[in-house]
Chain A
């Protein structure tokens, strides 16, 4: 066991820190842009930031060098995510392309597909969304019905996808469709790369409980997709899609931990500043219990993540253990946000105005956390995965 970074890891981190030192937008600029009511102002700001990262060679750090990445190890990838979160760097616009779809194209794509798509994902020139879930295919993803009919030189796509993050801004969609309705449900799927400007694609933003429109629903009405845009083999789309989901779970929590740690630091600071009954909140043993519990859970997330990354580094591939991390970070955040609400009392619910603590960040955090146990695979699905794939219990569905 050695928890110190290797010289190579330190070099990677220091290079990144030095770059961020000169290139990171100022905190005021970032705050103003990310608070803009116009989603396009936010989005363009994030896209500009991705361009700048790309020019510095800092997009797709975990992609192989031959495809424009840095060939970073998994540990370096985690360092990258953590350093970005630590510096409070803006999001990048093309996060799905960089984290999920790009690596899937690297793994399954033809030389032509790699040539056509990869560099534009890195630079942010083209933004991607995922077309996986449907109104009747959520946790039971393989039950999806969006149909892609073989028309000789192209597929004709008809169907309805939902929960597509950044669908409103996307240029391309990684779309899982049914190409063989006769085959068992996992075996008749194909993974298509669909141009969102194709005739027949209609995007409708969905308003979320936070008031944001991060995700959308997408309708496909007689959309023509050329044959060369199948990723992987026809009717092997399930395996292609699963490799993407594994990537999603292996690293998704890495930046969350930093965000939680920063929020906890802030909460501790608030318990020193806010007084009740003439004493700082901190004098209340119940408040201290909540702080101690939040620290414990955030620290446990860090340690589980470090152990998991070490294990993946040894075995080479993300495995079902990612489900443990997903459960940890999503459920701890809900408990943590609730604890923060209890500590802040009446003030916790304020969204705006001069009395709102941290400009409403805590009421937003409370609502947003509800989505954590649903997005990227519900807690129930994660427990099914652990039960079957880790513990070897019979499949329940």
Chain B
């Protein structure tokens, strides 16, 4: 058993760290997040040139065919650099939904453009209830010639401002429908939803009798959407761990240099113990994120539990790491000039995305109470986890 990154994964990690340090330093993050859409065409093209917009997708569509642990490693580095823009929306959400639900023809049509970096996209699920839960869907899809007609509003759609198309989840007679809608189609209207995290912007997207191209319906659509969200959640927790690592690094550096009472403040236990807690939060989140990615990839029996455990923990850990980091910085931590608040804002967005800690704790508990299962792993090996 080897719970650690292999050579290739370590190389990817190193490469990604150097790439983002060079191509997306903090002053660029600030510049890009100040634009209307937090999008930079040149950066996007460079990310695509690395093959990262197709990292996990099939080589038949121009993807790199790598695994979810590799994706997690890349997300960790993107989270560390606080890379702004539509990567999560395009690759993790829309890309996976098409990859899992689309026909061969649809994948050729849409996924190849995502892999090559020529299209951006997003996933429209959440509605007025403001929860990432399929049970809350109300938007209706009615069958029409060549697809389905959609009417209603979707909220909290990430990076809609630069999306070329949307994957929309709606309800039809046969259950769930996943459909692709051209962002420039008549009847599609965007309205920004200004929020704390300016690096990944939210929009309300309304659909007024817009025709969508059906990817999948019923059970197939439900399974594809659930897996898309689980997969994106696992990858998001890796992004969160990367962000925590950066907050920890900035804070430890500050605690070593900032002096009060003629002493580096990092020598005081009240400060040192805050930093120690931040390390525990960061390392634990990283363990959980890697395992969640592995579990989804390998379809282990506890895969959904692994995702929920990772999201439960990281949701609170990222926010708390931010709390401690700002506190250790004192007044400096409360200034716009200091980078910490940019991570703190991202932490809040990540915490609430795809279900917060309370949502996932409940999901875990409901999964455990299902009579055929036992509550917790009693052995290290995945196959015996629920023996």
Contact = CB atoms under 8 A, between A and B. Distances in A.
Interface of A: 1-6, 9, 75, 78-79, 82-83, 86, 258, 260-262, 264-265, 267-268, 271-272, 282, 285, 287-289, 291-293, 295-300, 302-304, 306-307, 309-311, 313-314, 321, 324, 327-328, 380, 382-384, 386-388, 390-396
Contact of B369 (A272, A313, A392): A272
Contact of A324 (B4, B263, B280, B363): B280
A324 B275 CA distance: 12
Contact of A82 (B273, B369, B379, B383): B379
B305 A78 contact: no
Contacts of A6: 1
The 8 closest A-B pairs by CB, nearest first: A292-B361, A387-B272, A288-B365, A261-B376, A303-B287, A393-B266, A383-B276, A386-B276
Contacts of B191: none
Interface stretch (B127-135, B140-148, B197-205, B306-314): B306-314
Interface string B258-292: 00000110111100110111011001101110110
Contact of A380 (B252, B269, B275, B298): B269
Contacts of B266: 387, 391, 393-394
A83 B381 CA distance: 11
B279 A1 contact: no
Contacts of A267: 375
A314 B365 contact: no
Contact of A295 (B291, B294, B364, B383): B364
A3 B269 CA distance: 37
Contact of B284 (A288, A313, A328): A328
Given A5-B1, A82-B380, A306-B3, A393 B272 contact: yes
B378 interface: yes
A299 B358 CA distance: 17
Given A291-B368, A304-B283, A387-B273, A393 B358 contact: no
A1 B5 contact: yes
B366 interface: yes
A307 B287 contact: yes
B380 A79 contact: yes
B9 interface: yes
Contact of B287 (A261, A272, A304): A304
Contact of B275 (A5, A287, A289, A391): A391
B31 to A, nearest CB: 31
Chain B contact-residue range equals: 35 or more
B363 A303 contact: no
A128 B121 CA distance: 66
Contacts of B380: 3, 5, 78-79, 82, 302, 306
A387 B376 CA distance: 32
Of A2, A83, A311, A382, most B-chain CB atoms within 10 Å: A2
B299 interface: no
Nearest to A259: B378
Contacts, number: 203
A88 to B, nearest CB: 11
A382 B3 CA distance: 24
A288 B277 contact: no
B50 interface: no
B376 A265 contact: yes
Nearest to A13: B381
Nearest to B359: A292
Identify whether the interface residues of B are mostly helix, strand, loop, or mixed: helix
A291 B364 contact: yes
B252 A292 contact: no
B3 A1 contact: yes
5 contacts: A1-B4, A298-B376, A306-B380, A328-B280, A393-B275
A1 B276 contact: no
Contacts of A260: 376
A261 B375 contact: yes
Contact of A288 (B5, B308, B361): B361
Of B290, B291, B305, most A-chain CB atoms within 10 Å: B291
Nearest to A301: B284
Contacts of B92: none
Contacts of A296: 308-309, 312-313, 360-361, 364
A345 to B, nearest CB: 18
Contacts of A395: 267
B111 to A, nearest CB: 26
A269 to B, nearest CB: 8
Nearest to B306: A299
B186 interface: no
B369 A293 contact: no
Contacts of B288: 299-300, 303
A111 B293 CA distance: 49
B69 interface: yes
Nearest to A314: B4
B362 interface: yes
A384 B269 contact: yes
Contact of A292 (B269, B280, B363): B363
A225 B292 CA distance: 55
Given A300-B287, A386-B280, 11 more contacts: A3-B2, A3-B380, A78-B380, A261-B378, A282-B365, A287-B365, A288-B366, A288-B369, A289-B358, A306-B380, A307-B4
